[in-house]
Structure 1
Amino acid sequence: MKKPLILIADDEMRLRKLVSDFLLNSGIGVLTAEDGKMAIDIFIEQRQKIDLIILDVMMPQMDGWEVLKAIRKVSSSVPIIMLTAKSEESDELTGFKLGANDYVTKPFSPSVLVARVENLLKQSRKISSERLVSGNLSIDLIEHIAYIDNCLIELTPKEFDLLVFFIQNEGIALSRDNILNAVWNHDYFGDLRTVDTHVKQLRAKLGIFSRYIQTVRGIGYRMRCKDADDIDKS
Structure 2
Amino acid sequence: MNSKINLELMEDLTVLYVEDEKDIRDNLEKCFLSIFKKCIVAKDGKDGVQTYMKHQKEIDIIITDLNMPYIDGIEMIKQIKAINPKISFIITTAYSDKQYLIDSINYGVNHYILKPFKIESLLKEVEKSYLSTHFVKKLKQQSEQIESLSKVFNSTKDDLMKENDKELNSKLVLIDEIIQLLDRR
Aligned pair count reads: 155
What is the Cα-based RMSD across aligned positions, in Å? 3.1
Q: Runs of 4+ in structure 1 displaced over 4 angstroms?
A: 164-167, 220-224
1:85 to 68, 91, 94: 94
CA distance in 2, matches of 1:173, 1:61: 52
Higher relative contact order (CA 8 A, sep 6+): 2
Matches within 5 A, 1:1-234: 3-131=12-140, 168-169=147-148, 174=151, 178=154, 218-219=158-159
Q: What is the TM-score of this pair, normalised by structure 2?
A: 0.69
CA distance in 2, matches of 1:76, 1:101: 12
CA distance in 1, matches of 2:77, 2:146: 32
Unpaired stretches in structure 1, ≥5 consecutive residues? 133-163, 180-215, 225-234
Letter in 2 for 1:26: I
Secondary structure of the structure 2 residue equivalent to 1:65: helix
CA distance in 1, matches of 2:68, 2:163: 49
- Indicate the structure (1 or 2) with the bigger Cα radius of gyration: 2
Secondary structure of the structure 2 residue equivalent to 1:104: strand
Asked if the contact 1:22/1:114 (under 8 Å) is kept, the reply is no
Q: Give 1 or 2: higher helix fraction.
A: 2
What's the CA shift string for 1:35-60, capped at 9, x where partnerless? 11211111111111111100111111
Q: Give 1 or 2: higher strand fraction.
A: 1
CA distance in 2, matches of 1:124, 1:21: 25
> What percent of counterpart residues are identical?
23
CA distance in 1, matches of 2:126, 2:82: 22
Q: What is the TM-score of this pair, normalised by structure 1?
A: 0.56
CA shift at 1:217, angstroms? 10
CA distance in 2, matches of 1:35, 1:117: 20
